Amino acid sequence: MSIRVLVVDDSNLARRVIQGELNKDAEIQVVGTAKDPLEASERIEELLPDVLTLDLELPKMDGLTFLRSLMRHHPMPVVIVSAYTQKGSRLALEALEAGAVDIVPKPGSATSLVEMAAELVAKVKAASQARVAGMNGGAETRAATARSGAARPAPLARPGAAPRPGGMRPAREPVQVLPPLGRTLSADRLIAIGSSTGGTQALQYILSRLPADMPPILIVQHMPPGFTNAFAGRLNQLSQLEVKEAEHNDTASPGRVLLAPGALHMVLHRTGSRYWVEITDGPRVCRQKPSVEVLYQSVAKVAGRGAIGAILTGMGGDGSEGMLAMKQAGAVTIAEHESTCVVFGMPKEAIKLGGVDHVVPLHNIPEMLVRLS
């Protein structure tokens, strides 16, 4: 059965382009379009799409307000199609926090129509498999649900179609920052984290709960260029750690988190006792740039048994071979449990390959990282 998509954008040209590019894929069918949130609401009830693509700058009601209402009353997978601007980046991050699954930048100076179309198709397919958490803090919803075992009410579904997982969010879980480690860190200790679909919320959940005296942390989150800097800034606000978008030759030091920039790979190096990162262009690896695989392979080679690797929610198999390489080099490796993943793709592939020591739900990962450190 095709993935049924509703396209919401105030631009007639954008609607036609998005519809045309998505309909080129045999697994996707655009069942309708809407020019504003009011029309979109009517079309959702009429067509019951599997996935919504949503522009955030809309007439009558802005896209973010509409998204929040949608996730409160009818949670469903939403892919944001956003302008590549500072305002667009900020709004897109707010949309992810409100429950959107992923972001695709509109064509512009940073991305071509061909690149945008390929990314949109991949993310719509990933979104169709996503576990939707509902309004505000999806990672906390999934963590709380996994802890309690509570059932999630399913959203509306087409007649004859299997219901999508999803549901409304319970009372907000208080952020509990773990205490300092209280001992000197090994100079060799380093943490590498990889994530994709649903990873922005999972990373916020983890980093907001870690103490300031953690080992260096390197993160690859699949994200378009122009959005990673804003995301690093958001993580920095939420965490006791220093979080920044990585730059070439940045030192990976205790208490610091380096996030790979969009469309560039991050590679770990070591000179003497100093860990540092190379930010490099190059071909996509596992169809991704930045690639978790590139980071993990370098960590296996450079940090070896001093490393801790964690692979979080995401579509595809990026990082699975690299995680196995880390384990074979003596690192401790962790995969997020299926019960808290938005998409159980990347962790599943790493587990299947035999590269994972521990399979852990999201709410246990911060404590485990502290303990292993």
Q: How many CA within 13 A on the CB side of residue 36?
A: 5
Please tell me the distance from the alpha carbon of residue 360 to that of residue 290, in angstroms, as a whole number: 25
| 222 in catalytic set | yes
Do 214 and 241 meet the contact criterion of CB atoms below 8 Å apart?
yes
Task: Single out the catalytic residue among 9, 318, 320, 363.
Answer: 318
Q: Give the integer Cα–Cα distance in Å for 68 and 86.
A: 21
For residues 116 and 106, give the distance between their C-alpha atoms in angstroms, rounded to a whole number: 7
Give the angle 205-206-211 at the CA atoms, nearest 5°. 120
Query: What values do phi and psi take at 30, rounded to 5?
Result: -80, 110
265 carries an active-site annotation: no
**Residue 149 class from Cβ within 10 Å (0-12 exposed, 13-18 middle, 19+ buried)?**
exposed
Q: Whose structure tokens read 């709960």?
A: 209
Question: Residue 174's CB: how many other CB atoms inside 10 A?
Answer: 6
User: 196, 208, 298, 320: which one is catalytic?
Assistant: 196
Q: Is 188 a catalytic residue?
A: no
175 DSSP assignment: P
**Per DSSP, what are the bridge partners of residue 271?**
274
Q: Is residue 189 within 8 Å of residue 255, measured between CB atoms? A: no
Spot the catalytic one: 222, 265, 337, 363: 222
Catalytic residue annotation: 196, 222, 318
